[in-house]
Amino acid sequence: MLSYRHSYHAGNFADVLKHIVQVAIIEYLKKKDKPFTVHDTHAGAGRYAIASEHMQKTGEYQDGIAKLFGKRTGFGVIDQYVSLVEKLNPVGRLTDYPGSPLISARLLREQDVLQCTELHTTDFALLKREFADDKRVQVLKEDAWQGLKALLPPQHRRGLVLIRPTRWKRITTACCLRCKWPWRNLPPPPMPSGTRCWTATAQKALFAVS
């Protein structure tokens, strides 16, 4: 869906929740020395400037990452996520918010792999530039469905797949069939009455095998 731009919604409450779960799953996969692959079907731009026109137009980050930045909760995975965001903002104030590919890249080890597909021309160019010097990361200007068929199953047979929820049933089924993976699915949460449709679109479903 090329009309959707995640830059309007980066760092909102749904994005924060998604990224905390992402951190938890990646850390779980790292408990084994064996390498694994993270595949991001709708990778976006990689990072988002808080001062950008898109983020300032909606201001959604103010009810998300802005409430956590610089704070500690006492919950390990939440504080690890906040610390990661803070390291990307060394000036001590929130200037940039990482998308899921950048979060993955910051957590992966040398032996792990990150695969990103993004069809939007502007976001693809930004993503490609973000990871130009990172040999662990593959960035393709590809439809999510075609990217799955081209890149899966991964060489290491262990991994995490991040999926846009509007297609999660079709894509999770395809992933499991191609990879012969058992899977643990985290479907999009139920939306409160009256919640705007973008919330469900911005959220992603994640599943992983160890």
Average pLDDT for 117-127: 94
C-alpha 21/C-alpha 132 separation (Å) is 26
CA atoms of 36 and 209, how far apart (whole Å): 10
Domain that holds residue 159: 6-209
Is 184 part of any domain?
A: yes
Q: Compute and round to an integer the Cα radius of gyration of the chain.
A: 16
Q: Establish if 1 belongs to a structural domain.
A: no
For the record, the structure tokens of 131 come out as 């990871």
Would the pTM count as exceeding 0.85?
no
CATH of the domain at 174: 3.40.50.150
Question: Would residue 141 count as lying in a domain?
Answer: yes
Mean pLDDT, residues 192-198 taken together: 38
pLDDT digits (tens, 9 = 90+) for 82-114: 999 999 999 889 999 999 999 999 999 999 999
pLDDT in tens, 58-79: 999 999 999 999 999 999 999 9
**Which pLDDT belongs to residue 96?**
96
Within a domain: 165: yes
Q: What distance lies between CA 28 and its chain's CA centroid?
A: 16
Asked, for residue 147, whether it belongs to a domain, the answer is yes
Per the structure, the count of domains in the chain is 1
